[in-house]
Amino acid sequence: MKTRWRYAVLLCLLFLYGVVMMRGRDWLRSNERERPSAFASVDEKPIPSVQRRIGDSRCSMATCFDFSKCEGDRLKVYVYPDGTHTEGDQRPSEAYVKIVDSIRESAFFTSNPSEACLFVLSIDTTDRDKISENFVRDVSSLIGNLPPQIWNGGTNHLIFNLYHGTYPDYAAEHLGFDTGNAIVARASSSAQNFRHGFDVSFPLFHKEHPIRNSIERSFVLRDKDPILVSFKGKRYVYGIGSETRDSLHHLHNPDRTPMLTTCRHNNDWQAHQDERCERDNEEYDKLDYESLMINSTFCLTPRGRRLGSYRFLESLRVGCIPVVLSDDWKLPFDELIDWRAAAVRIPEKNVLLVNDILASFSRSKIMEMKERGRLLYHRYFASVEKISLTTIELIFHRLRVDSSFSLLSNSLLPFETEIEGIRPLVVVVSAGERVNSRLQKAIERVAKIEGVKEVMILWPASRGSSPKGADFGLNGVEMEIVETEEQNDIPLEKIGRMIEEKSVLKGAAVLFYSDRSNEADAEVRLLEIFSQLPHTIISTQGIEYSAGSASHSSTFANVALLQTAVVHSGYLNRLSSFLPSDILKSCPVASLSTLVSSLSLSPPSIVMGQPIAHHFNLTQLSQCLDLIAKRFPLGIPLVSNSVVFN
């Protein structure tokens, strides 16, 4: 009986103890909430809850975007003026200056906010690590100073971010300010906090990344390299991101799978170094970083403090296949790119299986992935301009439900290369200044070509009034007369828009033809070649531009002339987003060749090697190429090819 009594008393005491402890905890919580902020130390003072929020987690294009601002042709971007909303001596980082400059110099830019569909801040939000020298303080206050009718809670705004969070957890949700309804283009995005179909997964790039680029030809793609897989980088000896990198030494083989790590990072690494650090640091300095990647088939891209890594783009650039060891990382532009064709993803828990997995890839698969990776790099990532404008185009693509070209297609070109049946053909005939029978003969000739859907006649003002209503005996073939100021004017943008407006001309080839052309059956031969090479320009004439000079060469050419030439109409619709309108108007030939080489990484195909007409202004073309070259600090993106005479 006494024993039962003792147990009953003990149970009562335990129950009372639990009640007291629960109430104590509640009191502590309420006291913590009511404690004045002045009592919080600098280290423990939390970021206010409103600043923790990265917009509304429920945001989508349907709920947080105003489509009425983007109706018709209003796909323009407004960038807030510099200096108006910055604080003190806080200057934008080099990376953000390049982003903003590339947008301002693009065809998307407008200086009138009432014309804009999308808005970009002049406030640098790329680095939100509060211990970084590029961290901009009081962003919330700076945003509060923006015109409220334009900011509008962040609606239709695009915010760029490269680095989020800070030591020790580098929390992805900590940008330090409320982004409201804005779209966030962010590097190192996690699938856990990414708003699919709204935010943009952005690539991580160095501040030295060029604002524009040339086509690099120095990297040779091989299906078998001396090294299977390699890594050279920091081995975090403590903190987030250290576990995966700390396991890489198990994969190390100095000849076939070199894994070079260093413990040297931050100022306190020696306090945390382990027994491997000294040896690792010595081995680390023996091999060059870029040389190691160039000679490797695969390049490890493990997570660091954040999910993203510079190595991802660096690997693609040199033709090394990136191997991603970063769970939940949203790869750059994955809404646009199927990365399975160019990269390998391995779960972090399988890090010790990396060598075995990669050794199973066939040589043909390796070559295919390398080529795809290099093409993706040059199309989307080779410059800050390409990265920034791809981000904008991706957002605008969401608005173009009736777009004739899908950015989400497997093609890297601005059109589909395959087409069912006979490809429609648009013939653009340049009329001379003098009235004679040549124009009529030229039109009759091209009208007989199979697949011709429309003939456009470029009519210079010096020839006199255009014959509106005349059909030139085309017998049912559509005809348009496009008036030009001078004989050599080729309004490529206008031609592209006219073609795009007609669904029957979708995917059309465009044959440029002059009433002075005298090559026998040249147009037929060009169209035959175009059917095999729709991604490049096919022409009977070309010039070679090198070292600031353009000249006619009988052996090589990197610029196609348009007296008799064929090109896919899809390229014409890309010109306005590639070069300013004033350059496009005065330099159509140079602009088109530069665009095609830049997107296709291919040279023009010059066949028959016809001499240049006496009236062609080679000096003006050279000046145009000089003007375009100034926009590409690393060199104009032209590719040379041999001239074929037969």
Burial of 526 (0-12, 13-18, 19+ CB in 10 A): buried
Reported as a single tens digit per residue, the pLDDT across 84-123 is 544 555 788 999 999 999 999 888 899 999 999 999 999 9
Work out the pLDDT band at 36, boundaries 50, 70, 90.
very low
- Write the pLDDT tens digit of every residue in 1-11: 444 555 454 55
pLDDT at 514: 87
| Mean pLDDT to the nearest integer, 433-447 | 85
Those residues whose C-beta lies under 8 Å from the C-beta of residue 212, and which sit 6 or more positions away, are 102, 383, 384, 385, 631, 632, 633, 634
Beta-bridge partners for 512? 428, 565
Separation CA 124–CA 128 (nearest Å): 9
Residue recorded with tokens 């353009």: 550
pLDDT of residue 216: 64
- Burial tier of 467 (Cβ tally within 10 Å: 0-12, 13-18, 19+): exposed
Mean pLDDT of the residues in the chain: 82
Distances from the Cα of 639 to the Cα of 391, 427, 556, 599, angstroms:
26, 26, 10, 11
**Pair of tokens at residue 322:** 């990136």
* 160 within 8 A of 134, measured Cβ to Cβ: no
Q: pLDDT category, 524, cuts 50, 70, 90?
A: confident
* Cα–Cα distance list, 219 to 316, 374, 587 (Å): 11, 10, 31
Cα 72 from chain centre: 24
pLDDT for 520 equals 64
DSSP conformational letter for 607 = B
Task: For residue range 250-273, list pLDDT tens digits in order.
Answer: 999 999 999 998 887 767 666 677
CA dist., res. 294 & res. 21, Å (int): 63
Residue bearing tokens 């002049």: 122
Q: What is the DSSP string of 65-110?
A: --GGGG-TT---EEEPPTTSS--TT-PPPHHHHHHHHHHHTSTTEE
User: What is the tens place of the pLDDT at every residue in 333-351?
Assistant: 999 899 999 999 999 999 9
- Measure the CA–CA gap between 309 and 324, rounded to whole angstroms: 9
pLDDT given at position 20: 42
* Mean of pLDDT values over 402-411: 43
- Percent of the chain clearing pLDDT 70 (strictly above): 81
Residue 563 CA to its chain's centroid (Å): 33
Max distance between CA atoms of the chain, in angstroms, equals 128
* pLDDT average, residue stretch 617-625: 90
When pLDDT is averaged across residues 312-317 and rounded to a whole number, the result is 95
pLDDT value, residue 25: 41
Residue ranges and CATH numbers for the domains of the chain are: 49-201 (no CATH), 227-379 (3.40.50.2000), 425-642 (3.90.550.10)
Q: What is the pLDDT of residues 321-336, one digit of tens each?
A: 999 999 989 999 999 8
Q: What is the dihedral of CA 282, 287, 292, 296, to 10 degrees?
A: -70
440-449: average pLDDT: 87
Predicted confidence at residue 315, as pLDDT, reads 96
In whole angstroms, give the CA distance from residue 15 to residue 36.
34
Cα Rg, the chain, nearest whole Å: 30
Position 127 scores a pLDDT of: 84
3-state SS class at 4: helix
Q: How would you label 527-565 residue by residue, b for 16+ Cβ within 10 Å and e otherwise?
A: beebeebbbbbbbbbbbbbeeeebebbeeebbbbbbbbb
Q: With CA atoms as reference, report the closest residue to 185 among 380, 373, 338, 330.
A: 330
3-state secondary structure of 233: strand
Cross-strand bridge partners of residue 607: 644
| Of the candidates 532, 95, 97, the residue with the CA atom closest to the CA atom of residue 310 | 95
Residues 6 or more apart in contact with residue 144 via CB below 8 angstroms: none
How far is it, in rounded angstroms, from Cα 418 to Cα 570?
A: 13
The stretch 173-189 carries a mean pLDDT of 88
Distance, CA of 618 to CA of 100 (rounded, Å): 35
Other C-beta atoms within 10 Å of 228: how many?
19
**How does residue 305 score in pLDDT terms, banded at 50, 70 and 90?**
confident
Provide the residue count of the chain: 646
Higher pLDDT, 495 or 127: 495
Q: Which DSSP helix (H) or strand (E) runs through 143? A: helix 139-144
Count the helices and strands in the chain (H runs, E runs): 21, 23
Which range (60-74, 160-174, 386-400, 421-435) has the least confidence? 160-174
Q: Which of 403-407, 508-512, 544-548 has the highest mean pLDDT?
A: 508-512
* pLDDT interval class at 308 (50, 70, 90): confident
Q: In what order do the strands lie in the sheet containing 296-302?
A: 259-262, 227-234, 296-302, 321-325, 344-345
Contact 353, 346 (CB under 8 A): yes
Do you find a cis peptide bond into 210, omega within 30 degrees of 0? no
